[in-house]
Amino acid sequence: MQPIGVYYGGQEDEPSTKFTKGMFEEILLTEYANILHVDLHTGYGPRYQMSIFSSGKETMTQEEAQRAFDYPLVFTPDSDEFYVTNGDVPEYFAMLKDEIAPSKSLYSTTFEFGTIGDGLWASIDSVKRTVMENQLIQYGSDNDTTKKILDSRYREMFYPSERKWRDKAKEDFIQAMEGVMKFNKIID
């Protein structure tokens, strides 16, 4: 553990994490038997196409999930691009459900809005921006222009200012949400 390292998370849960864990527990203890949870992320994937990342427990194939959700880009454990994450929010929520409310139905997934793009150069650019932002946080800068540029580049990695990107993200979210809700019989 490197306290000045990139993505260092500390030695204990942050207040927001404690709040979220408590909220999940409260939700699981309600009268609702069918729960849908969508974890929203930005960063990874094609710039103008949101992706649905199924949990590692998903049994549908990529093609089956794309048909089920009526959505073009869904990653399931059988997808070439799928990567297993340990300790992510959907995994935690599913574990908690199994522990305190095993009779309930929970579908938890992640919507990932690509911001920079995919491919080698986009990955390198993402790492470069992240390292530069970490350097700025750890060591600061005497130059206000440098601070503004680095802050802007890092922010763009998670929330692009381009109107076209924002409009497409909104369209993708609505399409994916409708597909997931129909599949889970929450709407017709």
36 has pLDDT over 80: yes
Closest to 57 (Cα-Cα) out of 110, 18, 118 = 110
54 has pLDDT over 90: no
Residue 142: pLDDT band with limits 50, 70, 90:
very high
Helices assigned H by DSSP within the chain:
15-28, 62-69, 89-100, 120-139, 144-158, 163-183
Q: Whole-model pTM?
A: 0.89
- Stretch 60-81: mean pLDDT: 91
Residue 79: pLDDT band with limits 50, 70, 90:
confident
Residue 85: pLDDT band with limits 50, 70, 90:
low
Q: Is 98:25 a contact under the CB 8 Å cutoff?
A: no
- Stretch 63-84: mean pLDDT: 88
Q: Report pLDDT for 70.
A: 96
Q: What are phi and psi of 161, to 5 degrees?
A: -85, -15
156 has pLDDT over 90: yes
